[in-house]
Amino acid sequence: MRFLTLCMSFVILFLPVQAMAEDELVHVKMETSKGDIYLALNKTKAPVTVENFLSYAESGYYIRLIFHRVVPGRLIQGGGYNRSLYEREKRDPIINEADNSLKNVRGTIAMARNTDPNSAQSQFFINTKDNPELNHQGSEYDYQWGYAVFGEVVRGMDVVDAISMVPTEGRGDFEAEVPVENIFINMVHVIDASGVPTE
């Protein structure tokens, strides 16, 4: 009986890992002025969001944009503004896929948006800690929708942490949280999984 219990425990523990392994992942290298960040985007759980992000990336949209918002101990945000804090023209907003079971935990990438749940366009953020308040809570009211996670950092979290610790200031239309030193996104491009460094 004890052997059977152990086997069942093993199956229960193994199944989530197996399910994750079956998700279709797209690996991306984000080259920044602080170093490289490698991401695995979950095309199975967030197909619309991943396709949207890749469309921006492949068009060169993100080149020389900055991380314009750093909230210490919480997240870093980019993908919308250049060094002068001007926005580039964006595509139409996409649907909110925050109800896909992916959570806003440390190291995940999610879409930024305004108060309308279905308003995400090009901006994204990377969580530097677990942010459960940003998760999907329900669909009845707009404030319950949360922010759609669509991947995670698989290498380069040290770069994310370095960005999260830079001094910030108010600048342009932003009262605070803008890095004093411009931190550029130099390139975002798809790579083979084998291209992700192991050390």
Mean pLDDT, the chain, rounded, equals 91
Neighbour count for residue 91 (Cβ, 10 Å): 12
List CB contacts of 24: < 8 A, sequence separation 6 or more: 42, 43, 44
Amino acid at 138: G
Residue 134 to residue 144: CA distance in whole angstroms? 9
Strand partners, 171: 174
pLDDT in tens, 74-120: 999 999 999 999 999 999 999 999 999 999 999 999 999 999 999 99
**161 Cα distance to chain centroid:** 14
Q: Which CATH number fits domain 21-195: 3.40.50.12780, 3.50.50.60, 2.40.100.10, 3.40.50.300?
A: 2.40.100.10
pLDDT at 21: 62
DSSP secondary structure code for residue 88 in this structure: P
Q: What is the pTM of this model?
A: 0.89
Which residues lie across from 153 on neighbouring strands?
A: 39
Backbone angles phi, psi at 52, to 5 degrees: -65, -50
* Under-70 pLDDT residues of the chain: 1-21
